[in-house]
Structure formats: C-alpha cells, structure tokens
Chains A and B, each alone.
Chain A
Amino acid sequence: MGALQSVPGHPEYVDLAEKTGFSFEQIGILHKRFKQLSHNEDTLLREHFSKIPNLECNPIRSQIIGAFFDRRNFRQDGEGTVEEIGFEEFLVIMSHFRPPTLHMTEEQRESVRRDKLRFLFNMHDTDNDGTITLEEYRHVVEELLSLSEAMEKDTAKSIADAAMLEVASISMGHMEPDEFYEGITFEHFLKLLNGFEIESRMNVRFLNMDTTTLCK
C-alpha cells in the first residue's frame, strides 16, 4: 500500500480486493457508483437499475438486471434469486467482467473462461434446471429483436429454432427422428463456443488505474 491509496476507513476493501481482484482504487470508485445508484442506501434493489436510461434502452435489460440478483452468480454455490444486493455481491458480479490479467496460466485462463460462460448460461437458463430449453432460448431471441418492421412475428421463432438445430447437430451428432433434444447443457454450451475468445470479448473496458507501479 502506498501513499495514494485511500484504504483508511475501509479495511474491508482488503478482503474484497482479494476476492474479486479489483484494485483498491477501482473498489473505491465502484463503491461510489453503488452509492449513487442506491441513493446512499446499503442495498440495491431492482428499481434502482431502472433509473439508468441507457440500460432501459437495452433489449435484454431484464436479463442483465436479473443476473445481478441471481444467487448462482455470487460464487457461493447458491440458487434462486434475491430481492436486494449489497456492495459485496455487486462487486462479485462486476468481477465477472474483468479482463484477464497479463500473467495468467492456461488453467487460470480456462477458469476465467468457464466463469464468464457460466454467467451467460445462467442468463439464458432462467429455471435453473441446468439446460437451456428451446423456450428459454426463443425468449432471449425475441427480446433482442424488434417485433415490427424488418422482422415478422415468426422470424424470431424460426431463428431460435435454427440455432437450436445447429447446436443439436454439433453436440449430439446424428439424431434419430423421434429423439428429442432437451436443451443445451452447460457442457454443450462450452463446446459450442469453443473457438470463441470470450475472455477477451466479454469484459468491460475498465480504466487501468494501477497505482502499484508508482509505489513499489
């Protein structure tokens, strides 16, 4: 710790930093943002998120907000949803979006990858049965697309169906005519996105406020 870090008054930042990997300065700024969103309360509710205009314009806002209140994302092996979250949970969810650091082993990279993909999987799998069914996938696609103009009502459905077929063929190989594809499991999901460098795509471009170089 150097002279520029504002740790006094917030000893809990040390724990949080270890748990989530953010620097003290980033945690401080995120804490301020948390307080701004929650109007200085200790917990965030869903309606606090609805005050953000940019988020309101996002087609999948309910999924994103839902992810914040989903206990599966709190890294504590919980299940179900909560109605309010504290700063620690907020940070944990944000840490899903941290970019991988420079010095990471293959294993660490792989675990970061799984972590991010798990987050996305949870976003699709709303009933927490471990598979993304056709219904669930169709729901997400409908949210993304407009129900007017360029798209007809059934287009969303057909896109979802086509995507599921593609997944089925990739993961199950050849299927019998009366075999029923239940849904995308997490393993299938991983296989599907095998070539995709999610660890460098699904992260927020955090400002690099690394003050450790100054103080070493």
Chain B
Amino acid sequence: MSWFTFPVDNLLCRCLSISITCLQYWLTLLFVFIIVPTVLGVSFGVCGLYMRTLLKIFEVSGILSSKKNIRPTRLISTQRAYLGRNIELWATSRIEKEAKEKNQQLYKPYSNGIIAKAQPSSLQQELLEVRGSAGGLPSEPEFEMVDIFFFCRRGVESILDDEVTKRFSAQELETWNLLTRSNYNFHHFSMRLTVLWGLGILIRYGVLLPVRVTLAATGISLLLVFTALVGLLPNKKLRFYLCEKVHLMCYRICVRALTAIITYHNRENKPKTGGICVSNHTTPIDVIILANDGRYSMVGQVHGGLMGMIQQAMTKSSPHIWFERSEVKDRHLVAKRLSDHVADKTKQPILIFPEGTCINNTSVMMFKKGIFEIACTVYPVAIKYDPRFGDAFWNSSKFGLVCYLLRMMSSWAIVCSVWYLPPMNREEGEDAVQFANRVKAAIAAQGGLVDLIWDGGLKRAKVKDAFKEEQQKLYSKVLVGEQEVGDERDNTHSEDTNQEEDERIQLPQMDNEDTVNV
C-alpha cells in the first residue's frame, strides 16, 4: 500500500515547503517595511493617510445609516428629515474641523440622555418647591407628608440616569464606525452599509490582525532575547545604556503592533527624575503609550508566567518597583518604598494611576490620596482616546486581558492624544485629598473629561452606609431649621482602607457634579 501514501506524502511535503517559503517572504516584508523603520524611529506618514481615509469612510457610513427605506408617498416629510440629519452631520463635522484647527479636543456628551438637566439647587430649595403647592407656610421647618415625593423622584431619576454606572461601560458613538462591537444604536442597515461592513471585517481580521499579532510577538521576543544577551555584558554602564535602547525598540514595535497613533502635546513638561507621573487610566495600554515617549519606573504586583519574565527583563535596565502580593496590603511599606525611590534623584519618575481601576475615558474618578502624601513634584498627564477608531476601554468584568488585546488588535486603530501638564506641588495648608482633587481637576480640564468625585472602586464595591446617613442628616437639618442656603456639606469621598470622611463644602447635590459642561 506504500504506493498509495507516496503521492499524498509528496503533496503534503510540497504544501509544507510552499507555506514555509510564504512565511519567509511574509516575515521579510514585515521586517523590512515595518520593523526596521519603527526601530529607527522613521515614519512614512502612512498612519495619517490611514486615519483620514477611515474618517471619510465613517462619514459615508453615517450618511448611509441615516438613510431609510424612503417610501414614495411620504417623500416630502422624509426628505426634510433626511436633510435635517445631513445638516446635523455636516454641522458636527464643521465643529470638529474647527476644533481640530484650534488643536482642541471636543468631548461630546451623551446625546441619548434621558433626564433634562435642571439647575442645581440645594436640598432645602427643592423641598420648598415640592411643598410649595401643598399650602402652608414654606418657612416652617416641619415635616410634611409630601416631602417623600422629593426623595422618591430623586430615587427614580437616579435609576434612570446616574453619573457613575455609565462610566464602567464603553462610550457610545455618534456615528457608527463599522465595528460590530460599537453597534449600540444603529439598526438601520442598508445593502451598501452591510457591504462596507463586510469589507471592513475582511480587512481587519484578514490583514490587520495577523500583521499586528506577528509584530507583537516579534517585539516581545526581541525584548526577552536582547535583554538576556545584554545582561551578559560585564560593563554596567554599557549594559544600562543598551538595555534602554532595547526597551525603546520594544515599545516602538508594540505601538506599531496596536497601530497606536499618538500625538504628544507640551513635551516640555515631560516628567523629570525624582518626581511622580500621574495619569487617568483607561486601559493597560496606557503604560505602553506613555513609556514610548519617556522612561518611567512602573509600580505593580509581581506576576508569574510570561508577565513575570517581562517584568524581570524590564528590571534589568531600570529600577522598577514590583511588590509581592503580601506586601501590597501594607500601606506603610508601599509608601516607604515609593518615597525612597523618589528621593533618589538618579532614578526615573514613577508612573502611577491613582484611580486604581480602568474608567471608560469619559470622566476622571476619584484619585486615591496615598500617592499624594509623598512629598515630591507631581507631573500630571492627560490621555484621551478617540473612540471612533476603536474603543480602548478595558471592561475587566466583561473580557480577560488576552481577549481584550485581540479586540484591540482587530480594531481600526488606537488614536489618542497625550498632554503633559505643568508640574504641580502640594501647597501650604493643603492636605493630600485637596491636592489630589486639584490634580484631578487639571487633568479633567485638559482632556475634556468630566470630573467626578465618586470612587472608581464602585465598579466592584457597594456604596458605604455613611452616604445614606449623610442624606438623612441633611434632611434632618432642614427640618430642625439649622440649614441655611449655601451652607451644605456633602460627604462624597470614600477610601477603601481608611474610613475617614472628607468634609467639603459642595453646592450642587450628588447627581449634579459635572464641572465640565460641554
């Protein structure tokens, strides 16, 4: 029977050799056209062209998705509606163009809000408004049966729309960007749109994804191999110098692997040694984006497996701060190690994300005060992603890390802007929490994000009972008559390890906290 298997064997061998040669050509092309220019820092301007083409395609898809099955009998009204929609699109793009010319970032608030934003008013004013129609003297601080309406209404309004829960899911888009995953509102499918979408799928999964995965794998293996080699060198200075170069190369390749198109602003404010760099947190990719443009010391837990190897490779060139799992709980140990690192002026700035968790890049949530207690200069950095090209937010309750990275690599691109803000120091008489909020406000203002006081930890934890008691206290004060308009205290901070409450004078109530109104 050997004569039967022989041609099959032959065929298999031939297939194998053909695929190996294909692979070789593929890798060579990749190497020559992508990896080498990346390492050398040369850019062909392809990315800019790619972005502009994509934007034009999204515009077309926006127009296509707003066109509906136009029935001939209702032509006039639907024409008017269609015209209206087009004018809206045109107007939006005009606004965007102008903003772009002025180098501003526009944050579009949710256009699908449910509740009309009313003027922020105090508890007392609202109660008076509710009571007012029930008769009786409004100035009498009595308990009225109708007061319950106020709390009822507030409760239902917060069920309908609250500032916090919507920060933990991906941002919604104005027009569809041809990714199924961002298809929340768009159900108007026409033939042309479906074709466009199908083409998009082919390009993204057939062309872009393999290239990117290969690049990422190459980048990481090069990092591990070269740092191992460089580690064998005897001369310490040379070792550090070469290690830095190797890291830079690896970050650049990873950036290409994600097709991250980054614009750095105000580079004169880049973090210097002996300081701490803080930034808003959307995704683990933030680290790569920042490290691409400067050298930082990372802070984090020691992992096993591939991550552990990468961590060890990174430590060879610069002093990163890795904590064992048991050490993380000890706040004093953590604070001491960070202070020691910062005090040593030869070491690179620490990179840290005070929010403690990933937020969806529409807002900045409470900064944990621990890092702001260390006496040193803080360099704030604001990172804003453009959601049209791919949603960078990592919803850790929905996907694991590997799944997330695959989604990133099959999006169109990751386009973001990084602003380096001027360094800030803690002022006289300012405590850590106030300092943290000042830094947070600066980052929110620059990135066009909403500045919230709520704790990002609410993603997983429940609200503490202290808050409910606060509302009760407020109401009691109104009844007893101690309350004066404009003098309300709202406790809205929460700490996970420390139970201290922060008394701050706050005018609006908890559901009207937007300080950046766009």
Contacts and interface: CB of A to CB of B under 8 A. Distances in A.
A214 interface: yes
A204 B160 contact: yes
B216 to A, nearest CB: 30
Given A58-B155, A145-B472, A30 B165 contact: no
Contacts of A111: none
B85 interface: yes
Contacts of B157: 204-205
A206 interface: yes
A33 interface: yes
Contact of B143 (A30, A159, A203): A159
Contacts of A214: 77, 80-81, 84
B473 interface: yes
A205 B158 CA distance: 12
Contact of B133 (A9, A26, A195): A195
Contact of A97 (B78, B156, B184): B156
Interface string B96-121: 00000000000000001111101000
Contacts of A193: 134, 145-146
A202 B511 contact: no
A190 interface: no
A181 to B, nearest CB: 16
Contact of B152 (A54, A64, A150, A195): A64
A204 B115 contact: yes
A46 interface: no
Chain B contact residues: helix, strand, loop or mixed: helix
Contacts, number: 190
Contacts of A144: 147-148, 151, 472, 475
Nearest to B85: A4
Interface in B470-491: 470-473, 475-477, 479-480, 482
B116 A206 contact: yes
B473 A58 contact: no
B112 A29 contact: yes
Interface in A25-69: 26, 28-30, 32-33, 36-37, 49-61, 63-64
Given A29-B112, A61-B468, A64-B156, A151 B480 contact: yes
Interface string A199-216: 011111111100000111
Interface in B58-87: 66, 68, 70, 74, 77-78, 80-82, 84-85
B149 to A, nearest CB: 5
Given A57-B467, A196-B134, A33 B114 contact: yes
Contact of A36 (B145, B151, B166): B166
Range class of the B interface residue count: 35 or more
B232 to A, nearest CB: 51
A51 B149 CA distance: 22
A168 interface: no
A149 B478 CA distance: 13
B151 A58 contact: yes
A53 B164 contact: yes
Given A33-B114, A56-B463, A146-B475, A8 B454 contact: no
A141 B454 contact: no
19 contacts: A32-B185, A36-B169, A37-B165, A51-B462, A59-B472, A60-B151, A60-B152, A61-B155, A61-B468, A63-B152, A64-B159, A94-B160, A120-B152, A145-B476, A150-B477, A162-B143, A200-B133, A207-B113, A215-B78
Shortest 5 CB-CB distances between A and B: which pairs? A54-B158, A146-B472, A56-B463, A64-B155, A57-B467
Given A60-B155, A201-B130, A208-B116, 7 more contacts: A54-B164, A140-B148, A146-B469, A151-B476, A151-B480, A203-B153, A204-B115
